[in-house]
Amino acid sequence: MKSIAELAERVRLTDRVQTHPMGSRFLEGSPEAWDFSALPTVLIAYPADQVVTVSTHLSLDEIQSELNRTGQWIPFVPGVATGLPDHASLRGFLDTRLPHPAVGTFGSWRDWVLGATVVLASGEVVKSGCRAVKSVAGFDLHKLVLGARGKLGIITEVHLRTWPLASRVEGESRTAPHGLWVAQCPFSRVDAWREALGDRCLEHDALSGQFWGTGEVPAGADWVWHEGQPLPEDRWTRRALELFDPTGKLN
Amino acid sequence: MADPALVVWMGQTEGVSSLAADLARILGENAVLHEDAALRAYDCDAYTVDRSKPQAVVLPSSTEEVAKIVRYCVGAGVPYTVRGAGTGLSGGALAALGGVTLSTKRLNKILSVDPENRRLTAEAGVANKRISDVVRPYGLHFAPDPSSQTVSTLGGNIAENSGGPHTLKMGVTVQHIHALKMVTVDGEIEEFALRGDGLDFLGVIVGSEGTMGVVTEATVRLTPSPKHVITALASFANVRDATESVAAIIASGTLPAALEMMDKGVLGALKAAFGLEYHPAAAALLLVECDGDDAQAVEAEMQAVRQAFGRHAALEVQIAEDDAARAKLWVARKKGVGAMGRLAPSIVTHDGVIPRSELPEMLEFIYAEASAAGLGVANLFHAGDGNLHPCFYFDDRDPGQVERVIETGERIMRRCLELGGSVTGEHGIGVEKIDLMSEMFSPADLAVQGLVKSIFNPGDLCNPCKVLPNQKSCAEHRKRWRGVAW
């Protein structure tokens, strides 16, 4: 595939699309995943605006090193949940809304994605949002596709907020044990969670109250992110999937 | 062809009296308004260009009552539109097809305050500022602070994904909502919360302008109020020095809590209305606030801001470190809009966004356009995030001026799009900007937005004719409400 148009045409014609990038547990790697590496690459940094427009088949590492040259970075701080190989693509991070341990300082994907280009199951290519840091025009497809595991469409390009390098926090990418979860702990329970988790607590962001751990999640979590867990099967998710991908071809 | 079920509700008195009687049977007489004078008060929100009266206004007191009304409307095929304080600036609360206006006025309870977990649960009709007032003793506040915050409601803020001066650093409403309760278009009560896994429905519902259901309650995230705040007001001899200072501040890596700009038009209005005087040579003011818990870090940020001022020839910089002095510096920003109201019989405030580095060029474009059209313009806006609010003042008794205001506004919005921005940063699309949607998005983009909406609202009764252009039955009705104020 040498263009987004060609990708879109292939999506339109086929009845099965596997887009998860290979090589990562978190991103449900699959040998059948389509190869996006020949797609044209977009990486336009707007350091004065603190925004980057970027193809999602690039790896986060590649994007960071290009951005660093403009004095910017994406404040995704590696940690235990990000034991990803170098070639894990940005799209994998977006498809899973992969959490990171400096969320309390910088926010995360939900706060950073300002707009997106998405190839739908129908083969149509659509855009949502824009590259200004603030916009309330229309219904936000770019929010809905985040964390959707590629099941509502293939995110091919995004506008992301960036931060000045001066704010950079060094993280250490570590390979996570199996059964990793990330959970939002209400502030009133933080001490109880620390005690209950003991060595099973792998990371903790005091500013946000998020915990990274293994084994049983302590009681009272606002939400839990589980490695490799399928999308929840609630009424609204089912409806979204029926509307966006009626034949179930995406992932 | 209009949907016959909808036509019934367009001004036919027979249907109206039975509608009001039905609603009164459900909620009681004192929760229904249907006198013509009362309905006229609900024929528009703060966007007064388009007007359309509802056939009845209901004032439910609970989520369950809202659900009863929605179920009735769905059963009878009556359009319904939710309304908070009516401060919306794009016509989001306009009863575009008539029907029922569902006011949140009586949904005014704060249900729980949980300072330890920094959250508060309130009904949709609670005023924004009341939330911050209630939690101030705990050193907390609700970060979104639209200019309308003394009256605008939590539900309205959620519908419009409201911003405000302090959302530059803290983020807009969607970043401060933990969970919400919504009456769906089939009259069921559902809760949506932030989730780690799965689709971010909360993120889609916030900002959907009341078209996906009726939000009746929300749990909001409270933000610790910063221990240290320093505010600066700088004056500049020309607008370019001010806008380039904004770019320099952002480029330095400083993210102030607020970064607001006022130009000469605003200064003139402040002088005429309130006798407020600033530096005699000032053509623009920048108001910058830095905050945080670490006094040294806040100092350092303000130092970077002052360096940017210095490099861009600031005429004067006033600094405030306590609340009283700070309030004085904010006067120009807070009173600016009111002051402009006295400049001419009418004002129209636009809302567009550009990537912030384009500010210098964009402001020059606005002045050139206003001058070519012979219109007065004043700019008072959120410079830090590139969110412009050019405000035209004119005489609405002169149809020629009205026409030119509309055309100039559209040219400015198109320029925002050419520069990579948006036709609205915080006021919403509503009915006001519905035509501009087709300029910002392709037909395919709009079709998929229609899909997003139809996850929650596949029909056309819940706040019809908003956000998306070319909705069924709207075009012909639009002729009725378009521009009737003029």
The conformation of residue B234, written as its DSSP 8-state character, comes to: E
Domain membership of residue B251 (yes or no) is yes
Contact A54, A160 (CB under 8 A): yes
A222 and A110 housed in the same domain: no
Q: For residue A96, what is the nearest residue in chain B, using CA coordinates?
A: B197
pLDDT at residue number A84:
58
Token pair, residue B118, equals: 């920094």
pLDDT at residue number B6:
45
B152 and B167 housed in the same domain: yes
Residue type, A221: A
A112 and A20 housed in the same domain: yes
A134 and A189 housed in the same domain: no
pLDDT at residue number B5:
43
Residue segments in chain B with a per-residue pLDDT below the cut of 50: 1-8, 11-13, 485-486
B236 and B377 housed in the same domain: yes
A78 and A135 housed in the same domain: yes
Q: For residue A145, what is the nearest residue in chain B, using CA coordinates?
A: B199
CA dist B82 and A231 (Å) reads: 32
A210 and A118 housed in the same domain: no
A23 and A113 housed in the same domain: yes
Domain membership of residue A91 (yes or no) is yes
Answer whether B421 sits within 8 Å of A224, measured CB to CB: no
Tell me the chain A residues in contact with residue B198 when contact means C-beta distances shorter than 8 Å.
Answer: 147, 231-232, 234, 237
Domain membership of residue A233 (yes or no) is no
Look up the pTM and report it: 0.95
Domain membership of residue B439 (yes or no) is no
A55 and A137 housed in the same domain: yes
Q: Which residue in the set B178, B204, B424 is minimally distant from A140, CB to CB? A: B204
Answer whether B118 sits within 8 Å of A120, measured CB to CB: no
Domain membership of residue B435 (yes or no) is no
Answer whether B420 sits within 8 Å of A167, measured CB to CB: no
Domain membership of residue B433 (yes or no) is no
pLDDT at residue number B4:
42
CATH number of the domain within which A140 lies: 3.30.465.10
Question: What is the extent of the structural domain holding B458?
Answer: 4-105+444-481
* ipTM metric: 0.96
Domain membership of residue B17 (yes or no) is yes
CA dist A105 and A208 (Å) reads: 8
Tell me the chain B residues in contact with residue A238 when contact means C-beta distances shorter than 8 Å.
Answer: none
In percent, how much of chain A has pLDDT > 70?
A: 93
The per-residue pLDDT for range B430-441, each reduced to its tens digit, is 999 999 999 999
Q: Which residue in the set A127, A167, A224 is minimally distant from B445, CB to CB? A: A127
Tell me the chain A residues in contact with residue B423 when contact means C-beta distances shorter than 8 Å.
Answer: 137
CATH number of the domain within which B310 lies: 3.40.462.10
B352 and B404 housed in the same domain: yes
Contact B336, B374 (CB under 8 A): no
Domain membership of residue B423 (yes or no) is no
Helices B63-76 + B13-27 axis angle, to 10: 150
pLDDT at residue number B483:
59
Which residues of B295-414 form beta strands (DSSP E)? 314-320, 346-349, 352-353, 376-381, 387-388, 390-394
Domain membership of residue A121 (yes or no) is yes
Domain count, chain A: 2
The per-residue pLDDT for range B188-224, each reduced to its tens digit, is 999 999 998 899 999 999 999 999 999 999 999 999 9
A25 confidence band (pLDDT: 50, 70, 90): low
Domain count, chain B: 3
Answer whether A130 sits within 8 Å of B421, measured CB to CB: yes
Question: What is the extent of the structural domain holding A209?
Answer: 181-226
B202 and B293 housed in the same domain: no
Query: CA of B256 to nearest chain A CA: how many angstroms apart?
Result: 13
Q: For residue A52, what is the nearest residue in chain B, using CA coordinates?
A: B355
A79 confidence band (pLDDT: 50, 70, 90): confident
B99 and B116 housed in the same domain: no
B395 and B261 housed in the same domain: yes
pLDDT at residue number A81:
66
pLDDT at residue number B201:
98
Residue A21 has pLDDT above 90, yes or no: no
Q: Which residue in the set A110, A133, A187 is minimally distant from B117, CB to CB? A: A187
Tell me the chain A residues in contact with residue B253 when contact means C-beta distances shorter than 8 Å.
Answer: 163-167
DSSP states of B164-225: -TTHHHH--GGGGEEEEEEE-TTS-EEEEE--SSS--HHHHHTTSTT-S-EEEEEEEE-EEP
B185 and B220 housed in the same domain: yes
A63 and A10 housed in the same domain: yes
Domain membership of residue A17 (yes or no) is yes
Q: Which residue in the set B253, B444, B452 is minimally distant from A167, CB to CB? A: B253
Q: For residue A51, what is the nearest residue in chain B, using CA coordinates?
A: B355
Answer whether B207 sits within 8 Å of A136, measured CB to CB: yes
Q: Which residue in the set B118, B385, B420 is minimally distant from A130, CB to CB? A: B420
The per-residue pLDDT for range B73-105, each reduced to its tens digit, is 999 999 999 999 999 999 999 999 999 999 999
B150 and B247 housed in the same domain: no
Looking at B196, B224, B252, which one is the last position of a domain? B224
Looking at A170, A192, A217, which one is the last position of a domain? A170
Query: CA of A240 to nearest chain B CA: how many angstroms apart?
Result: 6
Residue type, B133: D
B193 and B248 housed in the same domain: no
pLDDT at residue number B16:
61
A67 and A188 housed in the same domain: no
Domain membership of residue A23 (yes or no) is yes
Domain membership of residue A89 (yes or no) is yes
